[in-house]
Structure 1
């Protein structure tokens, strides 16, 4: 507690939370960049691939929205934390949930990219 009686997050805890958030953000940014590069290269393959590239772009935007919302929800939950134990629990839950979510998103995106690549490789009839 601070001198004025308000709960304050210790600097060490804030640093740890910021580092974990930065790691999650970096992983997601890498994922989005990869998806965008893949979508760009697929778009060059022609009209049959445009649908696949559009799906990739749509899915990437959906993931971005979901992850931003999760981050905002997490930040809001921290504002209502009553003590350090609750902050630690919220942080642990958030990081675990986000890492699971990013892994699922990467897997789904890989499947979409594979399908699009197979469609692009099919001989035109």
Structure 2
């Protein structure tokens, strides 16, 4: 083959068209992949924000309950120190136990609602 033969080598039109079509198809597939990856990353970030917000709500409520329960216990201890006799101590103890049982039941119910709401927000589809 002469040097001129190599210099004038051309890719057949059909092969060039097929290569260009394949290249264009690959480019579109890659662009779609990147677009989907970006959308997925955005949804994950949104979901993480929802989960974090729910966790903050749960933590804040748990801390508020702890403060309330500790304060209630301190108030109870103070009332016991001021009790005049055993019967007053027993009455104060009964009142404290009943109050704490009510408070704990309310707190458990509220915490259940907060956890449920956080879980629902975490799995709710974002539009």
- TM bucket normalised to smaller: 0.5 to 0.7
Deviations 1:73-118 (A, max 9, x none): 0000000000011000000000000010000000000000000111
Question: Could you list the runs of 5+ residues in structure 1 that have no partner in the other structure?
Answer: 1-44
Equivalent residue runs for 1:1-125 within 5 Å: 46-125=48-127
- The separation in 2 between residues aligned to 1:111 and 1:122, in whole angstroms, is 16
* Deviation (angstroms), 1:46: 1.4
* Deviation (angstroms), 1:123: 1.5
Higher helix share: 2
- The separation in 2 between residues aligned to 1:55 and 1:48, in whole angstroms, is 11
- How many matched pairs? 81
- The separation in 1 between residues aligned to 2:94 and 2:54, in whole angstroms, is 36
Q: Secondary structure at the match of 2:125?
A: coil
- The separation in 1 between residues aligned to 2:69 and 2:90, in whole angstroms, is 20
Larger Cα-atom Rg? 2
Question: Could you list the runs of 5+ residues in structure 2 that have no partner in the other structure?
Answer: 1-46
* Deviation (angstroms), 1:57: 0.2
- The separation in 1 between residues aligned to 2:115 and 2:62, in whole angstroms, is 12
TM-score, L = length of structure 1: 0.63
- The separation in 1 between residues aligned to 2:50 and 2:111, in whole angstroms, is 18
TM-score, L = length of structure 2: 0.62
* Deviation (angstroms), 1:60: 0.3
